[in-house]
Amino acid sequence: MSAESGFARYARPEFARLFRALHLDVVYRAGQGDHLTRELPGAEDGPPATEQVLDLVGGAGSSLFGHNHPELLEVARRCFDEQIPFNAQASVRPGAAELAERLSTVVGATTGASYVVTLGSTGADAVEGAVKHATVEHRRRLGALQEDVELSLRRVRRDGLADVACASGPAAGRPCAEVLGEALDRIAELRREAPVFVSLRNAFHGKTAGAGTLTHGGNVPEDLKVPGPRHRRLGDWTPEAVVGALDADRVEISTITVDAAGVPHSAARHLSPVAACFVEPIQGESGVHEVPAETLAALRELADRHEAALVFDEIQCGMGRTGTFLASEGSGVAADYYLFSKSLGGGLAKVSALLVDEKRYVPEFGRHHTSTFADDDFSSRIATAAVDLSFAYRDRITETGRLLRERLTEVAARWPDVIVEVRGRGLLLGVEFVLPRPESGLLREAIDSESLGYLIAGRLLHTHRMRVIPTLSAPTTVRVQPSALLEPADVDRIAAAFDDVAGLLSRGDYATLLAH
C-alpha cells in the first residue's frame, strides 16, 4: 500500500481527501534547515526524483531552529551513544532538573520570579496542567478562607460577641455571628461550583477537552466540541471592558476583626469563581494578532481582582520566535504561569513546560500530576539545548524578521485590493488575504474562506517550491513562520512568490491559481 492510500484509509481519511483535492498530497522524505525534500511522483523504477521546498510552515511554529539542526542532532546522538534510559520513573531525572532550572532562570530574568516547572509532551498537555493547577489553587484558597472565617466565628462566640453588632464597615449594625454565618454560606456555595476559566476572543490553546474549551474554534462544527471546564470568553479587549468583565460574578462577604478594646469591626472581602485567565500574547492560530500591552495589563488587573492566576500561553510565540525569549517581554506585564512547547523540542522532541510561580505552586501537584512520558532525559536535554540556541539566534531572528516583514509589507502595498495586511513580529508573521468574489458561481464555491489559504498554498508549493498553510482558525491568513536559519536570498524569494500570487488574485486569473 502506498503512503498516500495508507494515510487515506488508516490515518486521516478526511485530510487525505482534502489534500488530494488541493494537490497538497505530497510526501516529504527529509528535512534540513529551512528546506524539506519532497518526493516527486514519476518513474516507477530507480530512486524517486526529489526537489527542495522552502518550509514556511515550520511545524506550525515548532521548528524555530529548522529541521534537524546539527547542534540538536548532536545532543540527540549523544543520548543514544550514552544509552541513557528513555524512562526512569521514581528516580532523580537530571535532564528534567536541568531544563526546569534553565526555564525558571530564563523567564525569571524578565519577571524576577522563580518557577516550579511541570514538564509534559504537547502544548495542550501544558494547558491542561495549568487548568488543573489553577483549579487546585482556587479550591485551596477558598478552603483556607473558610477555615479563617470558622476560626473567627469560634472566637466571637468564645468572647461573647456573637450577638454584638459590628461597629463599622459594610456589616455595621449587624450581629457578628450572623455576618460570619452568611460568609460561610457564600464560601460553601462557591466551593460547590466548578471554577471558571477565562480566555479571549479568537484564542487558541489546543484541542483536548479542557484546552479546546478555551480555544475559540469558530470553524469547528458544534458536535466536535466536547464539554470542558466552565468558561467565559472576552470579546472586548479594551482595558476598561477587560478589567470589569466579570464583576457581576464577584460575591461580597464581610470578615470581622476585633480591636484592642474588644469592639468588632467588619471589612469587605470579595470571592470569585474565576480560577485563571489565559492569553496568548500574540495570537497565532487566529491569524497572528498581537494582544496590546494595555490588554495584557488589564488581564493582570482582572486576574488580581478575582485572585485568579494569569496564564501566558507562549507555546507558539515564545522561545525567542519574536526576538525576545518571551513574546510578552516588552509589555512589562508578568504572568503567574507560563506555557511553552513547540520549538522547545527543537523540532526533534515532543515536550512542553508549565511554569508556575513558586509562590503559588501547590507542592502536592507534582506528585499527582504525572505522565509516563514526562521528564524524559532525551526530550529534556534537547530542550535545554534549544533554549540556549534561542539566545544564540536572537539577533538573527530580529533582523531576518524585520527584513521579511518589510518585504511582505511592500508586496501588500502593491496589491491593496488583495492583501489586507501583514501582521506579527520576528519570525511569527501572517499575511491576510481579501476573500475574492469571482463572477462565476462555481468559482465562488471553490474559492471560499476555508479554501483560499490552501489554494494559495498549492500555487506556492507547485510553482515556487515553498510551503505555507493558513492559520487554523483564520484560514484567509497565510502563516509565515520560517526558522532562524532563513537566508536573505530566501526573503527575496518569499516576497516574489507572494507578489506572484497577489498578482493572480488581483487580475482574477483563477485558472492559473488553480492549475498545478
Q: Which is nearer to ligand PMP, 256 or 348 (CB)?
A: 348
Q: Which residues contact 368 (CB under 8 A, 6 or more apart)?
A: none
Q: Which is nearer to ligand PMP, 343 or 384 (CB)?
A: 343
Q: Which range binds ligand PMP by CB under 6 A, 23-31, 256-264, 297-305, 309-317?
A: 309-317
Is the C-alpha dihedral spanning 309, 312, 313, 319 positive or negative?
negative
- Tell me how far apart the alpha carbons of residues 352 and 243 are, in angstroms, rounded to a whole number: 30
Neighbours of 151 (CB within 10 A): 10
H/E run at residue 213:
helix 209-214
Q: Which is nearer to ligand PMP, 311 or 491 (CB)?
A: 311
128 binds ligand PMP (CB under 6 A): no
471 binds ligand PMP (CB under 6 A): no
CB of 125 to ligand PMP, least distance (A): 7
Please name the amino acid found at residue 383.
A
Q: Which range binds ligand PMP by CB under 6 A, 121-129, 176-184, 371-379, 478-486?
A: 121-129
DSSP, collapsed to helix, strand or coil, labels residue 12 as coil
Number of chain positions touching ligand PMP (CB under 6 A): 15
209 binds ligand PMP (CB under 6 A): no
| Helices first, then strands: H and E counts in the chain | 17, 18
CB of 137 to ligand PMP, least distance (A): 21
Query: Residue 72 in contact with residue 389, Cβ under 8 Å?
Result: yes
123 binds ligand PMP (CB under 6 A): yes
CB of 152 to ligand PMP, least distance (A): 42
Select the residue interacting with ligand PMP from 19, 197, 204, 454 (CB under 6 A).
Answer: 204
What residues numbered 282-301 form the site for ligand PMP, per CB under 6 A? 284-285
CB of 224 to ligand PMP, least distance (A): 16
- Tell me how far apart the alpha carbons of residues 492 and 480 are, in angstroms, rounded to a whole number: 14
Select the residue interacting with ligand PMP from 205, 289, 459, 479 (CB under 6 A).
Answer: 205
Of 6, 122, 52, 16, give the one whose Cα is nearest residue 487: 52
Q: Which residues contact 381 (CB under 8 A, 6 or more apart)?
A: 75, 78, 79, 95, 98, 99
Q: Which is nearer to ligand PMP, 290 or 313 (CB)?
A: 313
Please name the amino acid found at residue 426.
G
346 binds ligand PMP (CB under 6 A): no
Q: Which is nearer to ligand PMP, 321 or 459 (CB)?
A: 321
Could you give phi then psi for residue 168, rounded to 5 degrees? -155, 175
Chain residue at closest Cβ approach to ligand PMP: 123
Q: Which range binds ligand PMP by CB under 6 A, 82-90, 202-210, 296-304, 403-411?
A: 202-210
313 binds ligand PMP (CB under 6 A): yes
H/E run at residue 511:
helix 510-514
H/E run at residue 170:
none
- Tell me how far apart the alpha carbons of residues 141 and 137 are, in angstroms, rounded to a whole number: 6
- Tell me how far apart the alpha carbons of residues 200 and 245 are, in angstroms, rounded to a whole number: 11
CB of 383 to ligand PMP, least distance (A): 14
C-alpha cell at 101: 532550572
Q: Which range binds ligand PMP by CB under 6 A, 174-182, 204-212, 320-328, 501-509?
A: 204-212
Q: Which is nearer to ligand PMP, 205 or 425 (CB)?
A: 205
Is the C-alpha dihedral spanning 391, 392, 395, 396 positive or negative?
negative
CB of 200 to ligand PMP, least distance (A): 11
355 binds ligand PMP (CB under 6 A): no
Q: Which is nearer to ligand PMP, 303 or 469 (CB)?
A: 469
Of 187, 185, 147, give the one whose Cα is nearest residue 271: 187
- Tell me how far apart the alpha carbons of residues 318 and 310 are, in angstroms, rounded to a whole number: 16
Neighbours of 39 (CB within 10 A): 16
CB of 128 to ligand PMP, least distance (A): 9
Select the residue interacting with ligand PMP from 341, 384, 476, 483 (CB under 6 A).
Answer: 341
451 binds ligand PMP (CB under 6 A): no
C-alpha cell at 318: 515564545
CB of 219 to ligand PMP, least distance (A): 14
Chain contacts with ligand PMP (rule: CB under 6 A): 60, 122-124, 127, 204-206, 280, 284-285, 313, 315-316, 341
